[in-house]
Chains A and B, each alone.
Chain A
Amino acid sequence: EPEVTQTPSHQVTQMGQEVILRCVPISNHLYFYWYRQILGQKVEFLVSFYNNEISEKSEIFDDQFSVERPDGSNFTLKIRSTKLEDSAMYFCASGQGSVYGYTFGSGTRLTVV
């Protein structure tokens, strides 16, 4: 069964540092997403990406965040200067924009200290 792969599974970083979270979506998918889940809270939308550009972003996704699909297979989320409140589980998802729904990766747990 095709999977969305995320690396690393857990990252600890100092406040103010830059982090890059990596995702390999399912190969024939065209739509890519980042969501996050703060411990004990809802899964929250961050950004959607299609045709090499952002199609929608939430108010959480401010100038500190950026996404990139650098090589046609990877999909990355960069946080430029991490804050304590960025600590969360970050999920990448991909889909075909069809009735088959969207597949999530297992997530990267980001801990900002």
Chain B
Amino acid sequence: QKEVEQDPGPLSVPEGAIVSLNCTYSNSAFQYFMWYRQYSRKGPELLMYTYSSGNKEDGRFTAQVDKSSKYISLFIRDSQPSDSATYLCAMSADNFNKFYFGSGTKLNVKP
């Protein structure tokens, strides 16, 4: 059973577009949800962290969690070429131990 599913893309959008990235999961015990950005051959960089259901906004980024559907999203407004990277969702049941990562969605924002 795959814990976390994420469309690998690649996703190519023009500069200024709104980007929607999504993950689904199977484990109803997950309560902590994160989005990381990873540039080639670098470590994941934390973008957003949410607990349980709801929305969280930080600048151009909005994270949404729908626990009833086991579905999380990351929206990027006014996308920039510098947003081009692989976006990883990650989730955990208890915030202290094992995180489960999606496979990552590769995003390319064209100037």
A106 touches B97 (CB 8 A): no
A-B contact count (CB 8 A): 56
Q: Does B107 contact A (CB under 8 A)?
A: no
Of the listed stretches B14-22, B36-44, B67-75, chain A binds B36-44
Inter-subunit contact A100/B49 (CB<8 Å): yes
Q: Size range of the interface on B? A: 20 to 34
Chain B residues contacting A91 (CB-CB under 8 Å) are: 43-44
Give bound CA distance, A15 to B100, whole Å.
Answer: 29
| Residues of chain B whose beta carbon lies under 8 Å from any beta carbon of chain A | 34, 36, 41-46, 49, 51, 88, 90, 95-104
Q: How far is the CA of A48 from the CA of B96 in the complex (A)?
A: 8
**Interface flags, A19-55, vs B, CB<8A=1, else 0:** 0000000000001010100000111110010100001
Contact B44 A55 (CB under 8 A): no
Point out the residues of chain B lying under 8 angstroms from A112, CB to CB. Answer: none
* Contact assessment for B44 and A104 in the assembled complex, using a CB-CB cutoff below 8 Å: yes
Enumerate chain B residues within 8 angstroms of A44, measured Cβ to Cβ.
101
Residue pair A105, B43 in contact (C-beta under 8 Å): yes
What 8 A-B pairs are tightest by C-beta distance, nearest first? A104-B43, A56-B97, A43-B101, A101-B49, A101-B46, A45-B98, A48-B97, A106-B43
Docked pose: A101 CA to B90 CA in angstroms = 11
Selected contact of B45 from candidates A42, A55, A104, CB within 8 Å: A104
CA of A109 to CA of B42, assembled, Å:
10
